[in-house]
């Protein structure tokens, strides 16, 4: 389940990056040098640089999120494993205690049966 969620997150990151890249290409194709002045071209370049910085920042955030998610997943699996081991040991101990109690009851029943046979008239 955790690995599937990690793959989904990585896929979403790739999708967002591809969408942004497509938008940049569309903007560049729409703005031909004959129609735009130097001021508009500089503004577009500035916007592209800002957009690249945002994409880089978002990618870093997603990578950190994925790393934290992986760490949490490993820690959760470790905790589950430890808890499972503890419960298994506890269950084994309870089974051994119940077995001992059953043995005691069996022995007591045998003793009682023997006494009743001695007391009861034939």
pLDDT digits (tens, 9 = 90+) for 50-65: 888 988 999 999 999 9
pLDDT band at 71 (very low <50, low <70, confident <90, very high): very high
**HEC letters along 21-49:** HHHHHHHHHHCCCCCCCHHHHHHHHHHHH
CA-CA distance, 59 to 12, in Å (whole number)? Answer: 11
At residue 43, the pLDDT reads 76
How high does pLDDT run on average in the chain? 82
User: Which residues are CB-neighbours of 41 under 8 A, at least 6 positions away?
Assistant: 31, 33
Structural domain boundaries of the chain?
Answer: 2-92
Higher pLDDT, 7 or 120: 120
| Alpha carbon distance 122, 113 (integer Å) | 14
74-79 own/partner pairs: CB under 8 Å, 24+ apart: 76/2, 77/2
Instruction: Mark 39-78 as b/e (b = at least 16 C-beta within 10 Å).
Output: eeeeebeeeeeeeeeeeeeeeeebeeeeeeeeeeeeeeee
pTM: 0.46
Residue appearing with tokens 């389940």: 1
């Amino acid at each position: 389940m955790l690995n599937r969620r990690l793959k989904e997150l990585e896929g979403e990151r790739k999708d967002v990056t591809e969408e942004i890249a497509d938008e940049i290409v569309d903007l560049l194709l729409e703005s031909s040098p004959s129609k735009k002045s130097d001021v508009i071209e500089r503004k577009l370049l500035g916007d592209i640089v800002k957009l690249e910085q945002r994409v880089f920042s978002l990618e870093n955030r997603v990578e950190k999120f994925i790393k934290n998610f992986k760490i949490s997943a490993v820690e959760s699996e470790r905790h589950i494993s430890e808890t499972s081991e503890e419960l298994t040991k506890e269950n084994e101990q309870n089974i051994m205690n119940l077995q001992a109690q059953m043995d005691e009851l069996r022995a007591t029943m045998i003793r009682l049966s023997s006494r009743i046979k001695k007391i009861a008239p034939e």
